[in-house]
Amino acid sequence: MKNPDAIVIGAGIVGACAALSLTNAGLKVLIIDRGTVASGTTGAGEGNILVSDKDPGPELTLALKSRDLWFEMQEDVGDSFELEAKGGVVVARTDDSQLMALAQSQSKHGVITEKLDSVRLHELEPYLHPELSSGVLYPQDAQCQPMLAAARIIQSVIARGGELVMRSKVLGFNLAHGAMKGVVTSTGEYSSPIVINAAGTWAGEIAALADSYLPVAPRRGFILVTEPAPQYIFHKVYDSDYVVNVASSDADLQTSTVVEGTRSGTILIGASRERIGFDSTMNYEIVRKLAAQATSLFPILRDVQLLRVYRGFRPYAPDHLPLIGEDSTVKGFWHSAGHEGAGIGLAPGSAALITDAILGRDSFMDPHAFSPKRFAEVLK
Amino acid sequence: MIAIVGAGPAGLAAAMTAAQGGEEIVVIDSAPRPGGQYWRHLNQVEGYKSGRSEKYFEALRERKNVIHISGAQIWSAVPGENSITLNYLADGIESSITVQKIILATGAHDRAIPFTGWERPGVMTPGAAQALLKGHNVMAGQQILITGTGPFLLPVAVGLAAAGADVVGIVEAHSPLRWLMSPVALALNPQKALELLYYIRKIAKYKLKIRFNQAVVAFDGKSATIAKVSKDLTTKKIVSKVHCDVVAAGWGFSPDVTLGGILGCKQIVDLDGTVIFAVDNHQRSSQPNIWIAGEATGIGGADLALIEGRIAGLSALGLGISLRLRFQRYRLQKFARALQVSYPVGNGWQGWLRSESKVCRCEEVSLGEICSSVTELSANDARTSKLFTRAGMGMCQGRICSRNVSEIIGVQTQCQVTDQERIAYSNRPIAAPISLGALTDGIK
């Protein structure tokens, strides 16, 4: 494609959704990626589409809209990526007052919640440890297979006139008078007045190539994958510490339990969070800790075999909010990155915000809180 | 203390050598009995020099400074300062051992290549047929057809025939004339002619029928379809159907590099596309205090493994390596190289498959699904295709199918499989499955 209307950098879920949204708005879109489809953080995720782990505020508004857009997008793309509203069950390990207060405030902002007593909790999750007695059901929480989703969405973009170039590394940008003119890559130059940086954890490096600044850092996570097992787990089940850890800025290791089954029968166990750069060294102590937390929620998992562990790097911004909007200095340079562990869930909503902003349309919410300019202002 | 991982020829030779130096030795092996894939004797099995393993078994049993931990699966390894901790499972219980030095002799397993019907009962590797016979005294079936490529097919056929099996044929994909491409290797290894003569006599004795330049390309449970194949295994024409209930198919070997990979030992890609470790002439890996011997440094057979094991044992004791040993290794390495040249495994097998033929048996992923992940979902490497199709995600964690999936993607995208990709699919952070309960109980 010689002169696309817009170039999207990154073939992960955020880039894929942005490309689809722009294509549906009538633009000719070129997607480039230095690797392959879903070869970054998208390919290392569980496919979380969650509203339960968000405090009331702009991110929750985005998450709620985004969740609905996921189901609309499935209709639009007309193909399966294992999207399922399986619901989330958050379990209080000890004192449930914090969890109940959070659920209360979330329910005032459009989140459907159901407080669970011991009987109802064990009805929903019969294999939970018998001593656990309190939790909250979030029926809106959903899941998809994120790699398949990215691939299917990009396939729709291509079918509608877009193009994908893989193994194309961005080397620099052509700028003129502070405005975007195009991208210089290892596979050639592409001209376009609009470029969207959806490079996830590596979005900061891309921004730097345009002499801009985007504070995105990696936050490492491990996920354990077991052998296929009978269905022991019926929802996405996590302990209430998870919400605290997601919002934490601590650099040290944090682990909280997230356990869920998949369609293939394997069980996924997370989630650890560490800020130690792009270090992919295996840490077996983290593996043990995650296993121990999972077996303490579900004792039946003690006999299930661990087959594999994978790690990924969540794109993390200092205030835990994604960076969605135009660059602080370069006109026509847009960012949609820094979604941390919520990128799958927030991708379609972020794509809608970006498309609306590029076309100068009104959006479903005020995107100001996500503006990348918030850090430029801090710098000044 | 020196830990030796693996009790096949390389590990046993390393253990015996290192034990002579008086060091404390621990041999950790996953099998209940020592011997590895090659020497897994229960009863006496007919084969060239099959009695020579006895002295190694004796050293393992009798020497006071040698401990043998059998039936132990090492699932992880953690390097410390001047020590390495190995975590292993035996009978579902986790234990660990911390040692100063390690000799890895983790061996290899047969490489399997898919063909139409290979997921049926009765299809196995020659190694599995041999293991059933040697380890369990069980005959794999009534009428056994042996196919694939390489000299390993001969001892399997002879061993099975001698034990009373009806071996209905040996179907070798290449011509023995290919050895003429390696005159130096042959000249350096006259002793190999004796081994060959031994097997020629046995083949005559048991009236085994060998076909060359042919391969089994399909199996329907009752009979195998045999085709004439070209050098890269492309089917030229179907030549016959042979009645059999077992097809033992072996296409060279895949070294087990998992543990060395976890410990960060440098890996390279060999001429035959297998991932092996880079070692120096003392069998030292790129990591301090880790030596590697045997198939994991390049497929070469038991003779080479024995020499490499001895060298690793000597070096771990801090001793020098004699010129004689070095020469023996050199000439056997030359022979190993000639094996690779004589018995290549090209990609023509992909044409044996139908679209619905399974490539990954654990997750039941077909050739068609892998191809459409390329054409419809833009996968252009094996990792992406696996994420889309689940090929290689099952119980065996891709030990059987990963390489085949990569080769298929390579042909589909018309790109050579990169060394980086080969190394990626050969490694995994969890060397053996472990229960979440055992992991939980292992918290310090």
Mean pLDDT, chain B, as a whole number? 92
Burial annotation A311-327 (CB, 10 A radius, 16+ → b, else e): bbbbbbbeebbbbbbbb
Region A152-164 average pLDDT: 96
Provide the CA A118 distance to its chain's centre, in angstroms.
32
pLDDT, average across residues A314-336: 94
Name the pLDDT band for A379 (thresholds 50, 70, 90): low
Q: What is the DSSP string of A311-337?
A: EEEEEE-TTS--EEEE-SSSBTEEEEE
Model confidence at A277, pLDDT cuts 50, 70, 90, reads confident
* CA pair distance A291, A306, nearest whole angstrom: 9
Q: What is the mean pLDDT of chain A?
A: 92
**Pairing mode, if any, of strands A6-9 and A29-32?**
parallel
C-alpha to C-alpha distance for B107 and A336, rounded to whole angstroms: 48
The residue among A77, A263, A302 with the most chain B CBs within 10 A of its CB, best to mutate, is: A302
Query: Taking CB atoms and an 8 Å limit, are B397 and A282 in contact across chains?
Result: no
Q: What H or E segment, with its residue span, contains residue A157?
A: helix A146-159
pLDDT at site B1: 95
Q: For residue B284, is it left (φ>0), alpha (ψ between -120 and 50) or beta?
A: beta
| Distance set, CA A235 to CA A85, A90, A268, A288 (Å) | 9, 10, 12, 23
H-type helices in B3-113, by residue range? Answer: 9-20, 54-62
pLDDT at B221 over 80: yes
Please compute the mean of the pLDDT values over residues A29-40 and round it to a whole number.
Answer: 94
Q: What angle do CA A166, B412, A10 make, to 5 degrees?
A: 15
Residues on chain A bordering chain B, Cβ-to-Cβ distance under 8 angstroms: 36-39, 43, 147-148, 151-152, 154-155, 158, 164, 166-167, 224, 226-228, 264, 266, 269, 282, 284-285, 287-289, 291-292, 294-296, 301-309
> What value does the mean pLDDT take over residues B222-239?
96
Average pLDDT, integer, range B106-131: 93
- What single-letter amino acid sits at B249? A
Could you give the percent of chain A with pLDDT greater than 90? 80
Q: What is the pLDDT of residue A245?
A: 67
Exposed e or buried b per residue across B385-421, where buried means at least 16 C-beta atoms within 10 angstroms of its C-beta: bbbbbbbbbbeebbbbbbbbbbbbbbbbeeeebeeeb
- Whether the CA torsion B410, B391, B267, B304 is positive or negative: it is negative
In this prediction, residue B44 carries a pLDDT of 59
Q: What is the 3-state secondary structure (H, E, C) of A210-236?
A: CCCCCCCEEEEEEEEEECCCCCCCCCE
Provide the pLDDT confidence category of residue A249 given band limits of 50, 70 and 90: low
pLDDT mean over A359-373: 95
Contact with chain A for residue B436, Cβ under 8 A: yes
**pLDDT score, position A165:** 96
pLDDT for B299 equals 95
Q: For tokens 């809608």, what's the residue?
A: A352
Q: How far apart are CA A142 and CA A53, in angstroms?
A: 12
Which H or E run includes A290? Answer: helix A284-297
Query: In what helix (H) or strand (E) does residue B133 lie, and over which residues does it extend?
Result: helix B126-136
pLDDT at residue number A251: 65
Determine, for residues A308 and B383 on separate chains, whether the beta-carbon distance falls below 8 Å. no
pTM (2 decimals)? 0.91
For residue range B143-166, what is the model confidence (pLDDT) as tens digits? Answer: 999 999 999 999 899 989 988 889
pLDDT of residue B248: 96
Cross-strand partners of A48:
A143
Distance from CA of B383 to the nearest CA of A (A): 8
Q: Can you list the positions of beta strands (E) in B105-234?
A: 108-110, 123-124, 143-149, 166-172, 210-211, 214-219, 223-229
Is A305 in Cβ contact with B435 (below 8 Å)? yes
Alpha-carbon gap, residue A10 to A22, rounded angstroms: 14
Q: In terms of CA atoms, which chain A residue is nearest residue B363?
A: A264
pLDDT at B157: 93
**Closest residue of chain B to A45, computed from CA coordinates:** B387
Q: Which residues of A touch B378 (CB under 8 A)?
A: 36-37, 151, 154-155, 158, 164, 166
**Backbone φ and ψ of B143, nearest 5°:** -125, 115
Residue B377 in contact with partner chain A when CB distance is under 8 A: yes
Please give the average per-residue pLDDT across A337-347, as a whole number: 95
What region, left, alpha or beta, does residue A306 occupy, with left being phi > 0 and alpha being psi -120 to 50 degrees? beta
Residue B243 pairs with which residues in a beta bridge?
B223
Q: Which residue of A has its CA nearest to B386?
A: A147
E strand or H helix at B101, and its extent? Answer: strand B101-104
Stretch among A169-178, B10-19, B30-39, B434-443 having the lowest mean pLDDT: B30-39
pLDDT at residue A243, as a whole number: 66
Question: Which chain A residue is nearest to residue B375, measuring alpha carbons?
Answer: A155
Q: Which uninterrupted H or E stretch holds B248?
A: strand B246-251
Q: Is the pLDDT of residue B415 over 90?
A: no
Rounded to whole angstroms, the Cα distance separating A278 from A220 reads 8
Angle at A304 between CA A308 and CA B257, to 5 degrees: 30
Would the CB atoms of A305 and B78 count as touching at under 8 Å? Answer: no
pLDDT of residue B443: 87
Q: Which helix (H) or strand (E) holds B250?
A: strand B246-251
Residue among A284, A305, A308 whose CB faces B76 most closely = A284
Residues of B in contact with A289 (CB under 8 A): 443
Cα torsion A181, A185, A187, A189 to 10°: value is: 20
- Statement: residue A79 has pLDDT above 80: no
Per-residue pLDDT tens digits for A82-105: 999 999 999 998 888 889 999 999
Identify each DSSP E strand in A83-240 by its residue range.
88-91, 114-116, 135-138, 142-143, 163-165, 170-176, 179-185, 188-191, 195-197, 217-226, 236-239
Q: What is the pLDDT of residue A296?
A: 93
Supply φ then ψ for residue B382, to 5 degrees. Answer: -65, -35
Does residue B4 surpass a pLDDT of 80? yes
Chain A hits for B429, CB-CB cut-off 8 Å, are: 282, 308-309
Residue A89's beta-bridge partner residues? Answer: A137, A237
Helix or strand run (H / E) with residue B303: helix B302-316
Mean of pLDDT values over B26-50: 78
- Mean pLDDT computed over A212-219: 93
A167 touches A59 (CB < 8 A): no
B424 preceded by cis ω (within 30°)?
no
> Which range among A229-238, A278-287, B272-281, B358-367 shows the weakest confidence by mean pLDDT?
A278-287
Inspect the interface and report whether the beta carbons of B433 and A295 lie closer than 8 Å. Answer: no
Q: Dig out the tokens for B234 from the structure.
A: 């492309």
Q: Is the pLDDT of residue B49 over 80?
A: no
Q: CA–CA separation, B107 vs B10, rounded Å?
A: 8
What per-residue confidence (pLDDT) applies to A345?
A: 96
Q: Is residue B437 within 8 angstroms of chain A, CB to CB? A: yes
Per-residue confidence (pLDDT) for residue A376, from 0 to 100: 76
Predicted pLDDT at A263: 81
CA atoms of B193 and B177, how far apart (whole Å): 14
Q: Do A288 and B442 touch (CB under 8 A)?
A: yes
Name beta bridge partners: A331.
A179
State residue B438 phi and psi, 5-degree precision. -65, -40
A242 neighbors A184 (Cβ within 8 angstroms): no
List, for residues B202-216, the tens digit of each pLDDT value.
999 999 999 999 999
A92-147 residue pLDDT tens? 988 888 899 999 999 999 999 999 999 999 999 999 999 999 999 999 999 999 99
Packing angle, helices B382-389 and B402-413, rounded to 10: 110
Strands (E) across A34-108 are located at 48-49, 88-91
ipTM: 0.90
Alpha-carbon dihedral angle through residues B107, B109, B110, B116, given to the nearest 10 degrees? -160
**CA distances (Å), A296 to each of A93, A99, A112, B84, B191, in order?**
10, 19, 27, 30, 61
pLDDT at B434 over 90: yes
Spell out which residues of chain B touch residue A224, defining contact as CB-CB under 8 Å: 436
The string of pLDDT tens digits covering residues B346-357 is 999 999 999 999
